[in-house]
Amino acid sequence: MKALVYTDTQQLTYREEKDPIKTHGESILKVHASGICGSDMHAYHGKDERRVPPLILGHEVSGKILDGKFQNKNAVLNPLITCGKCEYCKSGSEHLCQNRVLLGMNIPYERQGAFAELIKVPETNIYEIPEKLDIKEAAVAEPTAVSLHAVLMGENSLKKPISECRTLVQGAGAIGLLCSLILNKIKGNNDIVMSDPNKLRLKECSKYFDAKFVDPSHKEIKSDSFDIVFDTVGLEVSRQQAISVVKPGGIIIHIGLTQPAGQFNFRKATLQEVTFIGTYCYTNKDFENTIKILANKKIGKLNWIEYRELKKGAKAFKEIHDGTCSSPKIVLLP
């Protein structure tokens, strides 16, 4: 099969790779679409110890099952593989399983990813795509599930309805856009500010929901002015801004993984009872609900997805790295 292989820092090679071999309880999926995630970019930059080259990246994937009990079915894969036996898996919090691994990772053990023509996956991670959901669009189920889980965690921690909150979404990438779409179109939140230094992405996001779209330094982003902040960036500077602008008793939902550490105003968090919630994953239930959300068009048309050929994937990564790409999500097609 052909695959786009991560071979070194900022290096991707489109080349021939061995086909995956079917094993018991697993199936082979012929990939129709696979999205580029922010975590793929972390690997590309050499900053993800769980993804060591050479490796086929990619975990946002849909296609057609070639064998097993889902044979000939169009399917989307839940890329989060868990043990199914621990306290977390048994209590519906399988996303916290300490033995979890994602497709497109080789630490703690190898699971080749979806930037290829074929991929092997446990049958328990296969979800049939409803007829009214386009097979290529289904590839964004995983980031949508991440965003849905984040919104629900914020909603469950708030002291007032999320529809009444003044909300800041930091970052106009796929997670920032999807959080905003869920907040606006499903939760009824009409007081959203989205910030990003990338004007191209802000302009693209502005086509799909009502909000104020500003640079992170804009005067609209004032101290103590937001009930809830979604940091989809994960930089030290974004965290510092989040704690500055969140109201007393407010919530910070931290989804970004860009910088693992840095300064933070713990004094304000303590004195003003600010709740800080870290999340980057989702439950199986979230994933199931996400497929229904996408199939029923609850977050609107997905015209913000840009499709490109897998063999040109290295160029797509480079454009995302350079900040010259306006699309919040690029999906690669083998």
Q: Give me the chain's average pLDDT, please.
A: 97
DSSP letter for each residue of 158-204? -SS-GGG--EEEE--SHHHHHHHHIIIIIS----EEEE-S-HHHHHH
Strand 212-214 relative to strand 192-195: parallel, antiparallel, unpaired? Answer: parallel
Handedness of CA 17, 23, 29, 33 (dihedral sign): negative
> Which tokens belong to 162?
């999320």
Query: What are residue 323's phi and psi, to 5 degrees?
Result: 75, 20
Taking the C-alpha atoms of residue 326 and residue 209, their distance in angstroms, rounded to an integer, is 16
Assess contact for 192 and 180: CB atoms under 8 A: yes
pLDDT for position 308: 98
> Which tokens belong to 164?
């009444």
Structural domains of the chain ordered from first start: 2-129+304-333 (3.90.180.10), 144-278 (3.40.50.720)
Whether pLDDT at 138 is above 90: yes
pLDDT for position 296: 98
pLDDT for position 136: 98
**What share of the chain has pLDDT > 90, as a percent?**
97
As a whole number, mean pLDDT of residues 207-235 equals: 97
pLDDT for position 173: 96
108 pLDDT band (50/70/90 cuts)?
Answer: confident
> Which tokens belong to 78?
């839940």
pLDDT, one tens digit per residue, over 20-64 is 998 999 999 999 999 999 999 999 999 999 999 999 999 999 999
Q: Say how many C-beta atoms besides its own lie within 10 A of residue 203's C-beta.
A: 12
pLDDT for position 11: 98
Burial label for 98, CB within 10 Å (0-12, 13-18, 19+), is exposed
